[in-house]
Amino acid sequence: MFRTIGSRIAILTVLLIVAATAALTVYSSNVAQDSYLADLEGQLSAEARLVSESASDPLAQGASIDQIEGLAKRLGQLLQARVTVISSDGAVVGDSEENPAAMENHLNRPEVQAALAGNEGSSIRYSRTLGYRMMYVAVPVRASGGQVIGVARVALPLTQIEKRVARLRYTIVGASLLTALLAGLLAVLIAGQMTKPVRRLTDLAERMAHGDLAGRIQITSRDEVGRLGGAFNRMASELQAQIEAMDAQRNMLMAVLAHMADGVLITDPGGHVRLLNPAAARLLGVEQEAAVGERFVALVRDHQISEIWRRCRESSEELSETVEMGRQRPFLRVVATPLSETSEGECLVLLQDLTEMRRLETVRRDFVSNISHELRTPLAGLKAVVDTLRDGALEDPPAARRFLDRIEAEVDALTQMVQELLELSRIESGQVPLRLVPTAVADLVIPPVDRLQPQAERSGLTMTVDLPAAGEEPGLPSVLADAERVREVVTNLVHNAIKFTPAGGQVTISARVAGEEVIVSVQDTGIGIAADDLPRIFERFYKADRARSGGGTGLGLSIARHIVQGHGGQIWAESSEGQGSTFYFALPIAKETITSS
């Protein structure tokens, strides 16, 4: 009930008015009563003097009680009041309303005492005889000599006056109640009007508390509430701007985190993960959403990482170590650092994936060792031949010529290897730009096959090309290719097929459409490739069977892969040992031919 300002003001106002009118009622009714009583006393005193005048002679002459009684009755009727005549000894000798014989001695009545003393006396008393309050006024009755011979008393009930005072009271109380009611209503209305802006402010603040910062107060006055509204609006704008700036910053940070290659984790002082980015989730093999809130140790499931994190938390120092998470799992550099000096126990853990770097390092090491190995054999051969020549073979011209031929063969092999290496490195470093133009598949396949046909025949192999003819349905669309480079790929594949297929075998070159690509395949019925070797044959210098690969360098397939990938295509092989192999490569179809076909 007292919860609104309006009701409080209304209640206070009403209380004030009620208190004021109560005091007013008491005061004014007393004043009115006093003035009524004074008037009445004056009237009764005049009447008493009249009675005294009339009773003077009969009393002085010792008239009978009956006579005085008759006088009192007559005067009482005339004055419309109770008239009593009392002798100087206090005995009632005449009364307008009672039988004097039955009345007690009145000597002890205060007004009678005063009158007997020669003064005018008055008294207000409850009359037990009549049952209501009366005002008595008594004056002395004097003989012609001036001595007091009795008392004349006139009395009137106060009921009239009491009624009038009561009516006055009711009027005042009624009026003040009405005023209080009206004032209360007015107070409620005014307070409601005054607190309306405050209520609007409250509503707005509530909306802001629920995150809606767009609302503003309309300022209609320049008073305190108006100024409060202004301050409130400024606060809301400021808050909104700050939150927007924070959001933007947060989004930026989130975007950076989301696209970072390094894993980032932040743990709270309790050791739970507060934040982790997608890279961290991927490196640890966990779900990003489910991981937030997990215990760090339970999440990483790796005692080395947990140990680095624990030591960082204990020492509050940055620690960095490399961690091998086991086979098939990433090789990581773990950097653990306290998040900030102020936030005790919070830790930032960075996971850098070094797997690829390590792989590249291995590849480089292998490359160097492979190349030295590849160079050592021909160089040792050359050295042996030179030594033989110096030891006397030079004197034997036919032998010397044979040795020279061997030297030439070795130098040719070395030259080819150096050329292939150079080409590979140029392709790898992107120095050979591919000129991609729509080219018919037959233009890519037929020339190399034709060139190798004699070699195939020499090796006792049948070689067939199986291409849907250009006009045929479904014909082969053109592909986007650098013809010279792709021919190199085909040459290499066909050459391998011839090299690794024993006499009597079959080599088939074909092509087909698959989705938006054309797949060219080179199939042979040769020695095949062991399942262990199959994933590695596209590596540089890799030879599945060194004894049988003859003069090959192991670079051909590696170059082929680079060329095909440079076209946006793929190259792969299927094989079963002893039954033959099939090499495939896919090239994208030229767009013009897709739309025109």
Residues interacting with ligand ADP, by CB under 6 A? Answer: 492, 496-497, 500, 524, 526-529, 537, 542-545, 549, 552-558, 581
Please report how close the Cβ of residue 380 comes to ligand ADP at its closest, in angstroms: 19
Q: Please check whether residue 277 is in contact with residue 292, taking contact to mean a CB–CB distance below 8 angstroms.
A: no
Alpha-carbon distance 354 to 330, whole Å? 7
Could you tell me the two tokens for 340? 């900030």
Please report how close the Cβ of residue 374 comes to ligand ADP at its closest, in angstroms: 11
Q: Hey, CA dihedral for 388, 392, 395, 398, is it positive or negative?
A: negative
Please report how close the Cβ of residue 576 comes to ligand ADP at its closest, in angstroms: 11
Nearer to ligand ADP, 9 or 498 (CB): 498
Query: Which of 51, 53, 91 minimizes the C-alpha distance to 72?
Result: 51
Nearer to ligand ADP, 370 or 581 (CB): 581
Alpha-carbon distance 111 to 127, whole Å? 14
Please report how close the Cβ of residue 416 comes to ligand ADP at its closest, in angstroms: 9
Please report how close the Cβ of residue 484 comes to ligand ADP at its closest, in angstroms: 18
Please report how close the Cβ of residue 544 comes to ligand ADP at its closest, in angstroms: 3
Nearer to ligand ADP, 153 or 499 (CB): 499
Query: Kind of pairing, strands 570-576 and 273-276?
Result: unpaired
Could you tell me the two tokens for 456? 């195939």
Assign 3-class secondary structure to 102-137: HCCCCCCCHHHHHHHCCCCEEEEEEECCCCEEEEEE
Please report how close the Cβ of residue 561 comes to ligand ADP at its closest, in angstroms: 9
Alpha-carbon distance 418 to 515, whole Å? 39
Nearer to ligand ADP, 332 or 537 (CB): 537
Please report how close the Cβ of residue 364 comes to ligand ADP at its closest, in angstroms: 19
Could you tell me the two tokens for 510? 């074909």
* 479 beta partners: 439, 589
Nearer to ligand ADP, 421 or 497 (CB): 497
Please report how close the Cβ of residue 575 comes to ligand ADP at its closest, in angstroms: 7
End-to-end CA distance of the chain: 86
Q: Which residue is nearest to ligand ADP (CB)?
A: 552
Decide: residue 431, CB within 10 A, 0-12 exposed, 13-18 middle, 19+ buried. Answer: exposed
Alpha-carbon distance 93 to 68, whole Å? 7
Nearer to ligand ADP, 352 or 496 (CB): 496
Alpha-carbon distance 281 to 445, whole Å? 47
Nearer to ligand ADP, 121 or 528 (CB): 528
Could you tell me the two tokens for 533? 């070797």
Alpha-carbon distance 112 to 303, whole Å? 122
Nearer to ligand ADP, 23 or 363 (CB): 363
Nearer to ligand ADP, 560 or 586 (CB): 560
* 321 beta partners: 334
